[in-house]
Amino acid sequence: MNLGAKGKKRMVLPSRPDPPTVEQIIEDINRANTNDPVFNLLQESSEDLKGGSHSSEVEVRYLQSRRFLELNEKLQEARTELIRKREELKTVGETLERNVAEVKDRAI
């Protein structure tokens, strides 16, 4: 009788959803409340960028755009890093499963 395998099933995780389309993102932004933290953050950022009253709206928008692009780049780097780590975890998990199977086979 194999006690180690008793009542154990391998859990299958659901697949990841597809990322949202541009249209879905725009729709989500349009439906967001004005008190949404992201918009508050953008408002505060815009006030910080203005500094003095002589800053033009174009300059503020330009600086906001630059900040957005910087944040977007950081997000892309984080995404790449997460993908790499996911692959590492997958490899380690597969190795662990093989090792567990070997130990079970030896125990029989």
Whole-angstrom distance, CA of residue 100 vs CA of residue 70: 44
pTM, 2 dp: 0.43
Structural element, H or E, at residue 106: helix 57-107
Residues near 67 by Cβ (< 8 Å), separated by ≥ 6?
Answer: 45
> What is the tens place of the pLDDT at every residue in 12-66?
878 888 888 888 888 887 887 777 776 666 665 555 555 555 567 888 888 888 8
